[in-house]
Amino acid sequence: MKKWVFWLVILVLLGYGAAQHKLKVVNDKPPEENKQAQEVTLQMNELKVTKDQIYKGNLLLVNKDHPVPPSGEESEAVNLFQHKELLNGFIVLDKSIRLSPSLVQKFSTMIGAAEKDGVSRFLISSGYRDNKEQNKLYQQMGADYALPAGYSEHNLGLSLDIGSTQAEMSQAPEGKWLKKNAWRFGFIVRYPADKTAITGIQSEPWHFRYVGLPHSAVMQEKNFVLEEYLDYLKEKKTITTIVDHQTYKISYHPLSKNTTIPVPANGRYQLSGNNMDGVIVTMYP
């Protein structure tokens, strides 16, 4: 065999061996990556969601353009004066204040943390209102200070007006503490002074709305009101955030009819409609 033929054979064999080695290295990763992808896929289920889910949950937008849906009206509100066992660390302005026990519990947890910081003079001046009560208020206060019946968050049952026995909320320690810390407990200042052009409502430092974590944390970080936050989710489709070392994945799904959406099979999740056109899925381990 001529020398050039010999060396050609050697080079071909070396090249084949190198190619085989590279192929092996390249192919070492995909099985693991595919396995991980399969595991993620296996951990997800398809959940059947009906269109009425748009009108249920803690993230419902209620304003002059989006009324409280019939399914969103609070049905569990109780008179707090008649249920004094719920008055834990606060007082009520009068005997007519109504709230759901679950919202009172969330509020009590929050002001319990405030008390540890030396802030403890809280009162509730307004809670859930039915349409009759809201219409009466609207007639008394006018469109600049109240919304018509069916268009107020107080008709939804997720809002309350919080006061202080010391001073106006804009000046009281209670108001200052809540403005800084309420988001940690899932509450937001619904009508801040710098967002009146968006909310259509004048500044109300006493009006707090429950949206839940992690939504209140994202809104605090980005200085969003609810209108802005829901628009942001529609634009981004999916966001991830970490609150107190807990990772949350939040995704928006438009709904025009009954459909299915992916939810974790093993992890936890929450659903909420936006009262407009879709649902938000919040997933966490």
Q: Which residues are part of the catalytic machinery?
A: 204
Across the beta sheet with 122-126, the strand order is: 90-92, 122-126, 159-164, 204-210, 187-191
Which residue type is seen at 105? Q
Residue 216 and residue 223 in contact, taking contact as beta carbons nearer than 8 Å:
no
Chain centre distance of CA 203:
22
Chain centre distance of CA 227:
12
Unique residue bearing structure tokens 């092996």: 24
Which residue type is seen at 247? T
Q: What angle do CA 192, 197, 203 make, to 5 degrees?
A: 30
- The strand ranges marked E within the chain are 44-49, 78-79, 90-92, 98-99, 122-126, 159-164, 187-191, 204-210, 238-243, 246-254, 259-264, 268-273, 278-284
> Cis peptide leading into 214, omega within 30 of 0?
yes
Question: What are the tokens at 182?
Answer: 């309420």
* CA-to-CA dists, residue 82 to 77, 87, 103, angstroms: 12, 10, 16
Distance from C-alpha of 282 to C-alpha of 285, rounded to nearest angstrom: 11
